[in-house]
Structures are given as structure tokens and as C-alpha cells.
Amino acid sequence: MIVDDDSTMVKLLQTLLELDGFDVSVVRQGADVLDKAIETPPDIFLMDYHLTDIDGVEVLRQIRANGKLAKTPVIIASGANVEEEVMAAGADDFLLKPYDPDDLPALFSQLID
């Protein structure tokens, strides 16, 4: 599941990941993540740190507090180096933007297996 409000980034990531065989769902607002994820549980979350409606770390905390989603890997990406904060909040990995989208399939495989 991609959680990001940047339409251009979402389209790029979705296209590349689908070409690599991933089924991709997209959520543009942090407030919608739990409902969507409970409805269709993702194998992994790729989430932007800066969302328009809520902080990505707050969404991460909500995911970790939900019994059905707590163990699902979460990767948070940001243009600012907030790695220490997101890892302390329970993220499985952090990506500093800009990152190479071609590296995502290997990272996903590593975290899902």
C-alpha cells in the first residue's frame, strides 16, 4: 500500500511496482489508511512522512496499535532525515528522498519474507 498525497510520485511508484508484479493499492490521506488496510490488508506499507492531513508517524503509531496490522512492515520516506524518529516510532525502514524506485522490489522482498 502506497500512502502519499503526491500524485506524480504515486503514479511513478505504482507503475514501477506493478511492472515488477506487485498488486498496489493507494491511499492519499493518512486518515483513510486504517479503514483501507483493514478492508484489504497490505503486505507492506510505503508511506510518506509528510501527509497533508496527518503526520506519517501518527499513522505508523495507529498501524502498530492495530492488532491485525501491527506486524505489517512499514517503510517511511521523507526529504528530511527523520530516520531516528521514524525508527523509534516503529518503522521497519526509512528512505531518504530522492531514492531509486528500482531498489524497492528487493527491499520489499527482504521485509516481507
Q: What is the pLDDT at residue 69?
A: 96
Q: What is the pLDDT at residue 27?
A: 97
Residue 96 has, within 13 A of its CA and on its CB side, a CA count of: 6
Q: What is the pLDDT at residue 64?
A: 97
Beta-bridge partners for 50: 55
**Buried (b) or exposed (e) across 34-48, using 16+ Cβ within 10 A?**
bebbeeeebebbbbb
Q: What is the pTM of this model?
A: 0.94
Q: What is the pLDDT at residue 83?
A: 96
Full set of structural domains in the chain with CATH: 2-112 (3.40.50.2300)
List average pLDDT for each run of 10 residues in the chain, which is 113 residues long: 95 94 95 96 96 94 96 96 96 94 91 84
